[in-house]
Amino acid sequence: MASGSATSDPPNHPNNDVAVVIDGVNKHFGSVQALQGLNAQIRFGRLTGLVGPDGAGKTTLMRILTGLLAPNSGRVSVAGFDVVDDNDAIHAATGYMPQRFGLYEDLSVMGNMRLYAQLRGLDADRNAELFAELLDFTRLAPFTGRLAGNLSGGMKQKLGLACALMARPAVLLLDEPSVGVDPVSRQDLWRMVQALTDEGMAVVWSTAYLDEAERCDSVLLLNEGRLAYDGPPGELTGRLTGRSFRLEQVGDQRRAVLAEALDLESVGDGVIQGAGVRMVLRPHAGTGQITALADRVDAQLRAVPARFEDAFIDLLGGGPGGTSALAEGLPPVRLESDIAVSCRNLTKRFGDFTATDNVSFEVRKGEIFGLLGPNGAGKSTTFKMLCGLLKPTSGEAHVVGLDLRRATGAVKGQLGYMAQKFSLYGLLSVRQNLEFSAGVYGLDGATRRARIEEMIEIFGLQPWLSSAPDSLPLGYKQRLALACAVMHRPPVLFLDEPTSGVDPITRREFWTHINGLARKGVTVMVTTHFMDEAEYCDRVAMLYRARLIALDTPDALKRRAASDARPDPTMEDAFIHLVEAEDLADEARSKAAA
Amino acid sequence: MRRFDPKRLWALVVKESLQAVRDPSTLLIAFVLPVVLLLLFSYAVSLDVRAVRIGVVQESESASAQSLAAAFAGTRYLNVTFAHDRREVSERVVSGELRGFVVIPQDFEQRLADRGARPLVQIIADGSQPNTANYVTNYAQGVVQTWRGGLGIEASQAGVTLEPRYWFNAELESRRSLVPGAIAIVMTIIGTMLTALVVAREWERGTMEAVLSTPASVAEILIGKLLPYFALGMLATLGATALAVFIFDVPLRGSLAALLLLSATFMVPALGQGLLISSVTRNQFLAAQIALFSGFLPAFMLSGFLYEIDAMPAPIRAITWFIPARYFVSSLKTVFLAGDIWAVFVPNLLAMAGIGILFFVLAKRATRKNLE
């Protein structure tokens, strides 16, 4: 991109001109209100983040902007064209990359590019230069003959971008471009989008990752169909100046300290961050209570810069308290051995594809153990082997001292598993789902009734009891799934992406439960694609290309990535650092072999 | 309305063709399935009854009784087991070894002399298989009648002898009418089922959303989708016809042009139905189910392919009027077995085109212009 543009002919709009006007937009599907009274503007030459949890209305707004949906009331104009009246012009003026990138998996990279070029009225044969530029821009040139279905998540995303960039759109709309993409490819995408906005293109980037908001020039924050904030991200985080603090090096006490802090009147929000505890004060609250807390636990209190997520939770009125009703009612877990989960040389091959390659680790009782890695790195496969859902090709695994090769049945009674896709029965009501789970785990009689009532109480499921799980808001679906997984009080809990697709407040609530359970001695295995959530874990195993490339505490992992240029790296920095180091080592190995 | 752009349409056709060629299941359905179906219908499924096993009980040992028994043994349509006591054979009917038996009674000579005052023989048939039972009784009666005719005794009584001739399929080989029908089944699968699946797949994989967001219009997208499957359907017809004519000895008495015209017209309702199903469901599994129940099964059962429409009860017969395969099967049988009879083709062509247009109008209404 040094010598110019990926799009040959930059859209001719002075920066900061209005690209999109959203005026009083309402949209509902049946009785579900997707967008309510939305007013906003999006400008050329800027990266505008459309930020919010899943179900907030991001995709609906995106589809309205591309002219695929019409608002029920209100008007939207994109690049000067009304999305309803000038629908045809909208399709020419915008480039749109839907979720999952809209690629034909059984066509080659070149086949996809040619198709989208022709659909946009470009003669593929006469635009060799444009193609070469786009391929260069996306670094896909070596892969033109490969089928799109065989590309990695990152490469698919770049190909989707290349297809959306055909015919020089004035407004580029990217719907959750970073989902299913590893941090390294995400970095690449930021670089490309930056280059495009520098040329004057208006780029809208929708995301559920709140940390991505901080990298945007401007942010539209959506929550439950309403605009919660519109402006530069710095302005929102600026409101929290002097309200974000961290208790450094709290050590093993940190979960108790966090619970205590969250129950303080002056603290609105708090999370574990490595060995420390991060807290955000409520508006106009003094530091008295937290200073006292710091003194009592003998930890240093340090002011830290506010994050976008802090600001969002503050905007929503603060997070939940620190006490988990779920953990309160639980008797402490007793195990014969101190090691709750262990695996040695665990390997799983599907045909000639190795999904998990020689992975070994041990998890102590009461530990929160995170598995982190890009999609396809082998997280879920490893997880499923440890739950006894998949048979390892080789290697062995033990859960609560039971050998998974022999005692899968007994093991399953000792663990709770919450699958990535909800393992709920859509045709059963919420209560019937709870009863079914109680039944399969062998609870009966009074215990069964008591546990079901307990779950309804703790997760606030009362209003939904006779509804179908599919009609529940996402957050409640996840609550129900968690309730079904913990009802039989298992000593080991496997949570596969438990917080994907839920709003930040519900995420906080989930972590309060997880922290509480861990303090009672429940061992929690968790996978996540939220980088910041990795910091809530005691130890993190990083998986990359089926191999375990690092296993350490979050703080230690971050320290490895520290450099003079980056003294305080984030978890994402640490991840990228480790992956790059692994790639370098790979290259060195293959060179040595050659 | 967006301007219709042939270049965009062509790009979509090329894409669809590439996908179809790369998808082994498409090729399987288009080229392997017809072969399997034709093989099945020409060898395994036969509606002809041949060599039915029956017993003949000779209670009389007279010369004329012997001669009648010999007449039974002489026909290739029956496979006769002889016995002297009806108890021997009745058990074998119960066990299913025999489909029935004929008793030549002890007083056969007397009865013969009575000239029809009393029945000559007794025929017992296994009623649990009504078709075969009918066949056994009719054929046994036929044998007796012919035998009697041969004696010259009946000449005075039955002054008219019938000499039936079956037109179009002189040997009444069911293969000859089943194979053309099988072509209709294959075309229904390609036209309705495959089309419903591939359109639903685009919705499921999210590619429809991406394509709709380009300047391509709904008409271009849908026609781009249908053209390759139209071509595939026609290719499959040609292949199946070649197989039918050269391997299975089914005559093609009409012209190839008429056959192609009929097939092309049948593709209109078949594709229209597939399109309608997929635009309503947008889900491959549902689309497959609905295509099976609304396309494949009626084409199989209600088109006159396996069961004669004239033999169906009136309400069912009324339903068949709405099944495009009915018109196609009747035309196919005509073009293969009789020839180019436009008096048959024209109403059938009109009916198929009419139903097809109805499907397309409904599909157009159901295909919402956007994602709502």
Domain identity same for B247 and B344: yes
Number of domains chain A contains: 4
Contact A100 B205 (CB under 8 A): yes
B255, part of any domain? yes
**Which residues on chain B are in Cβ contact (under 8 Å) with A120?**
214-215
Burial of A593 (0-12, 13-18, 19+ CB in 10 A): exposed
Whether B266 and B337 map to the same domain: the answer is yes
Convert the pLDDT of each residue in B217-262 to its tens digit. 888 888 888 899 999 889 888 988 898 888 888 888 899 999 999 9
Is residue B19 assigned to a domain? yes
Helix/strand/coil (H, E, C) string of A542-554?
A: EEECCEEEEEECH
Cα dihedral angle (B174, B179, B185, B186), rounded to 10 degrees? 160
Q: How many domains does the structure of chain B reveal?
A: 2
pLDDT per residue as tens digits for the range A251-283: 888 888 999 999 998 998 999 988 889 999 998
**How close is the nearest chain B Cα to the Cα of A160, in Å?**
10
Q: At which of B156, B186, B218 does a domain end?
A: B156
Are A154 and A181 contacting, i.e. CB atoms less than 8 angstroms apart?
yes
E-only strand ranges, A381-491 = 394-399, 402-403, 415-418
> Percentage of chain A surpassing pLDDT 90?
34
Domain assignment present for A9: no
Cross-chain Cβ contact A106/B5 below 8 Å = no
Distance CA A90, CA A62 (A): 12
Domain of B141 in residue numbering reads as 52-156
Q: What is the 3-state secondary structure (H, E, C) of A101-167?
A: HHCCCCCEHHHHHHHHHHHCCCCHHHHHHHHHHHHHHHCCHHHCCCEHHHCCHHHHHHHHHHHHCCC
Q: Please check whether residues B62 and B11 belong to one and the same domain.
A: no
Q: Do B18 and A118 touch (CB under 8 A)?
A: no
Question: Considering the domain boundaries, does residue B25 fall inside one?
Answer: yes
At which of B156, B188, B223 does a domain end?
B156
Contacts of residue A174, defined as CB under 8 A and 6 or more positions apart, other chains included, come to A97, A161, A164, A193, A203, A204, A205, A206
Q: What is the CATH number of the domain that holds B69?
A: 3.40.1710.10
Report the residue of chain A nearest B221, measured CA to CA.
A119
CB pair distance less than 8 Å for B210 and A106: no
Question: Is A457 part of any domain?
Answer: yes
Whether A445 and A477 map to the same domain: the answer is yes
Answer yes or no: do B210 and B150 share one domain. Answer: no
Domain assignment present for A366: yes
d(CA B22, CA B206): 19
Chain A's closest residue to B217, CA to CA, is: A88
- Residue ending a domain, choose from A236, A264, A298: A236
Is the CB of A68 less than 8 angstroms away from the CB of B370? yes
CA atoms within 13 A on the CB side of B18: 17
Helices then strands, each counted (H, E), chain A: 21, 24
Q: How close is the nearest chain B Cα to the Cα of A392, in Å?
A: 31
Chain B hits for A121, Cβ within 8 Å: 5, 7-8, 215
Size of interface A-B (CB pairs under 8 A): 83
Query: Which of B123, B156, B189 is the endpoint of a domain?
Result: B156
Tell whether B184 is covered by a domain.
Answer: yes
User: In the predicted model, what is the mean pLDDT of residues A418-433?
Assistant: 81
Q: Is B215–A91 a contact, with Cβ atoms under 8 angstroms apart?
A: yes
The boundaries of the domain holding residue A85 are 18-236
Q: Mark yes or no for CB contact B210/A94 under 8 Å.
A: no
CB A486 within 8 A of CB A324: no
No. of helices (H) and no. of strands (E), chain B: 17, 4
Q: Is residue A258 part of a domain?
A: yes
Q: Which amino acid is located at A541 in the chain?
A: A
Distance from CA of A164 to the nearest CA of B (A): 9
At residue B302, the 3 state secondary structure works out as: coil
Do A104 and B19 count as a contact with CB atoms less than 8 A apart? yes
ipTM: 0.71
Chain-chain contact of A96 with B210 (C-beta, under 8 angstroms): yes
B11 → closest Cβ in A88, A96, A115: A115
Residue A3 has pLDDT above 50, yes or no: no
Any CB–CB contact under 8 A between A345 and chain B?
no
CA-based nearest distance B268→chain A, Å:
26
> Which of residues A300, A323, A346 is at a domain's end?
A323
pLDDT of residue B49: 61
Query: What pLDDT, on the 0 to 100 scale, is given for residue B20?
Result: 85
Is the CB of A105 inside 8 Å of chain B's CB atoms?
Answer: yes
- Evaluate whether residue A37 is within a structural domain: yes
Q: How far does B208 lie from chain A, in Å, by closest CA?
A: 8
Judged by CB atoms closer than 8 Å, whether chains meet at B206 and A102 is answered as yes
Of A204, A219, A236, the last residue of a domain is A236
Most confident residue range from A210-219, A314-323, A563-572, B263-272: B263-272
A172 and A185 co-located in one domain: yes
Whether A68 and A91 share a structural domain: yes
Taking the CA of residue B209 and the nearest CA in chain A, the distance in Å comes to 7
Residues on B contacting A at a C-beta cutoff of 8 Å: 2, 5, 7-8, 10-12, 14-15, 18-19, 22-23, 205-207, 209-216, 370-372
Read off the pTM: 0.77
Band (pLDDT 50/70/90 cuts) for residue A249 is confident
pLDDT in tens, A336-371: 888 999 999 999 998 888 889 999 999 999 999 999
Q: Is residue A328 part of a domain?
A: no
